[in-house]
A and B are shown apart, each in its own frame.
Chain A
Amino acid sequence: MYQEKTFFGKLKVFGIFGFIPLFAFCTVIVLPFLIGIYMTFTDWNGSASNSSYLGFVNYADAVRDPAFWTSMWLTLKYVVVNLILTNVLAFVLALLVTSGFKGQNFFRAGFFTPNLIGGIILGFVWQFIFSRVLVYFGSEFGWGLFSSSWLGDPDKALWALIVVGVWQNAGYMMLIYVAGLIGISGSLTEAAGLDGASWLRQLFSIKIPLMIPSFTISLFLTLQKSFMVYDTNLSLTKGDPFRSTELIAMHVYNEAFVNQNLGPGQAKAFILFAIVAIIAILQVSAMKKAEVEA
């Protein structure tokens, strides 16, 4: 369609199609990111008009802070559990809503709905459920597990966060798996069926291998979302009890804005970026190798 030979011709086409998104991307992503990296080497406090160069002091402060690693470890636990539960649930739901029963489209929409509600609202809704509704039923029917609010106990509060995270994200991942399942040609499963392959056999030998791209995307998205979770963390537990559910995004935010240590906070943010980027790149490249063609 566009076969421009000259440099100006190419520039024109680029200007028409690519300039605005690129400009927006640079101004709201790349530029703040670079300024952020520069900030980690200064002692700027957020409101002073000048700042001086420090070198790696902020990074040293960041890695020496035990609370940072506690929070990182907690986040890692949260991510692993969330990753497994969300994707297992999403895949099972995807199998259910593509099995061809009546009204499956209604269920598809239903499972996807939690994703359309903002995390802050979700957090408050679930806070009400955990601290009032479940406690009411727990004391009414004598269920020991729910006799007191989960949000008041450090271990259970983390599980409360996981429950909400899974509930919020499973529907979205389900849609990706649904797309992957629908994309598998019927001739393959039909042929396998004629050869006597059971439903399970078909699932593990045909469907799952052909769906690796869906898994790649879903796992990447879940990984990134769970590492960066902040909104539900804020409205559900606010890091309480005694800061035991302060996930890493909240920890970085509090360090920078609540404790007003912008330099170390920004350094922590950059360390977090590096860790998540490395894990995500490893995950995607490992899974790319596993993809097969039908």
Chain B
Amino acid sequence: MKKSLSILLILAFMVSVLAACGGGSDGGEEAGSKVEITVLVGKQEIAQQFEEMVKEYNESQDGANVTVVSTAGQNGYERITTLYAAGNAPTIMHFLSEFGEMQSKLADLSDQEWVQNANEGTLDYVTVDGKVYGMPMSVEAFGLLYNKSVLDQAVGGSFDPATIKTRDDLKALFDKIEATGAKAVEISPVDWSLGAHLTSVYMANESDTHEGRLQYIEDLKSGAADLNADEAFNGWLDTFDLLKEYNISKDAPLAALYDDGPMLLADGEVGTWFMGNWAYTQIKEIDPDGEYGFLPLPISNDASDPGNSSISVGVPEYWAIDKEQSTPEQQQAAKDFLNWMVSSEKGQDYYVNKFNFVPAYGNFAVKPQDPVSTSMMGYMEAGNTLAWMNNYYPPEAFPSMAASLQKYLSNNIDRAGLVKEFGDYWKSLG
């Protein structure tokens, strides 16, 4: 009797364990009357502020309850694939280069209000057959960030970024900065800055049209593009040589850390730093009242080259809604939440003032006031922008090109070696 009872208990235990493991929840139970939706936020720099905003949203209405899911230390896309495999996909997520793989799982957002307000060109990347599948998170820009007080001193007066139109202008400016005792430029040797951002500058200069630039990447793969005879590429490399020569970390260029950048620039030890507007958050902490702005990175000595007076502006991430594992009610609740984020006064306030995002929409009543965003919006309004070609790179392109550029920066390979490594990498894809 006792024996059979214990066996029964064991069997019951086994069954319950197996049942608990086998039955995946669909993640869509409604708690009370609220629709439960989840948001995966991979941007650590806004995680805390985002939580606060979600809390306010949950208290402001009783239709949906939003929960923030963290990436648990993985990069965003890894986390997304893990959650999908576990049958527990987030309702709202954000990503960029994985859009091609994810597209079949995403809800169509074409009928949303914000589609009308989005800045021109910001939806190109997520539009397939005339349908929009992603919502631009923000716009970001990179170029040569400068500290105005250092440059004012260098030029003896108020520095105007419009005076820099050619590589020689830039070199003259660098010499003036060095004459004041400061150093001219800081290059952060992090792989995404060199391999994705810096290379994007030359690729964007390859053609005036979107199709032409995409074609250029195809030509690189097929070997049709000859880097040695490539005007934009060689001009860009000459500019990189200039940066390399005036680099404050010239003695140990690869030992420079990203965190050195904001400190050097804000303390006025360097005049310029190749970086983007996201760095202003850190600069502001050191030097809250300083004036900062963007300089273009000229890649030729022809002042009429449009690329020489432009900075690179693009959308770093897109919000997207899952339709594969989310109920129609959840999808609707997700759309409402995203809409609230960019159309309500509260959402816009968080967007601009707490996340420090530069909105990708024309209908924002709240406008960023800080100097870097202002400088960036000046370029955007004048139409002086270059595309972010790194959005179209295959996933291993930026680490490969960054490795070559790091070798070049630290004189481990010469110019011919760099050209060869670039060419070999792209041809390996063809």
Seen from chain A, the residues whose Cβ lies within 8 Å of a Cβ on chain B are 8-9, 11-12, 15-16, 19, 23, 27, 45-48, 131, 135, 148-149, 151-153, 240-243, 254, 257-260
Contacts and interface: CB of A to CB of B under 8 A. Distances in A.
Contacts of B78: 257
Contacts of B407: 242
Given A240-B254, A258-B395, 17 more contacts: A9-B3, A47-B80, A47-B81, A47-B84, A131-B255, A131-B257, A135-B255, A148-B252, A148-B255, A152-B252, A152-B253, A152-B254, A152-B410, A242-B403, A254-B399, A259-B396, A260-B101
Contacts of B286: none
B14 A19 contact: yes
Interface residues on B, range: 35 or more
Q: Which of A15, A135, A153, A242 has the most C-beta atoms of chain B within 10 angstroms of its own C-beta?
A: A242
Interface in B231-283: 251-257
A254 B191 CA distance: 14
A148 B253 CA distance: 10
B3 A12 contact: yes
B406 A241 contact: yes
Interface of B: 3, 6-7, 10, 14, 17, 21, 74-75, 78, 80-81, 84-85, 101-102, 105, 189, 191, 251-257, 395-396, 399, 402-404, 406-407, 410, 412
A45 B101 contact: yes
Contacts, number: 80
Contacts of B395: 258-260
A241 B3 contact: no
Q: Which of B3, B84, B254 has the most C-beta atoms of chain A within 10 angstroms of its own C-beta?
A: B254
A260 B102 CA distance: 13
A15 to B, nearest CB: 4
A73 B6 CA distance: 55
Contacts of A258: 75, 395-396, 399
Nearest to A253: B78
B252 to A, nearest CB: 3
A240 B191 contact: yes
Contact of A242 (B14, B75, B255, B404): B404
A15 B8 CA distance: 11
B346 to A, nearest CB: 34
Contacts of B255: 131, 135, 148-149, 151-153
Contact of A23 (B17, B257, B402): B17
Contacts of B403: 242-243
A135 B260 CA distance: 14
Q: Which 9 pairs show the lowest CB-CB distances between chains A and B?
A: A152-B255, A148-B252, A149-B255, A152-B254, A242-B403, A15-B10, A242-B406, A259-B396, A241-B254
Contacts of B81: 46-47
B106 to A, nearest CB: 12
Contact of B6 (A12, A241, A242): A12
Contact of A148 (B105, B251, B396, B402): B251
Q: Which of B81, B251, B412 has the most C-beta atoms of chain A within 10 angstroms of its own C-beta?
A: B81
B10 A12 contact: yes
A242 B402 contact: yes
A19 B11 CA distance: 11
Nearest to B18: A23
Contacts of B257: 131
Contacts of A27: 21
A149 B84 CA distance: 42
Contact of A241 (B10, B14, B101, B189): B189
Contacts of B10: 11-12, 15-16, 19
A11 B404 contact: no
A16 B10 CA distance: 8
A98 B81 CA distance: 51
A278 B377 CA distance: 60
B25 to A, nearest CB: 18
Given A19-B14, A131-B257, A241-B189, A11 B7 contact: yes
Given A11-B7, A12-B3, A47-B84, A243 B399 contact: yes
A62 to B, nearest CB: 15
18 contacts: A9-B3, A11-B7, A15-B6, A19-B14, A23-B17, A45-B101, A47-B85, A148-B255, A149-B252, A152-B189, A241-B189, A242-B407, A243-B399, A243-B403, A257-B75, A258-B75, A259-B396, A260-B101
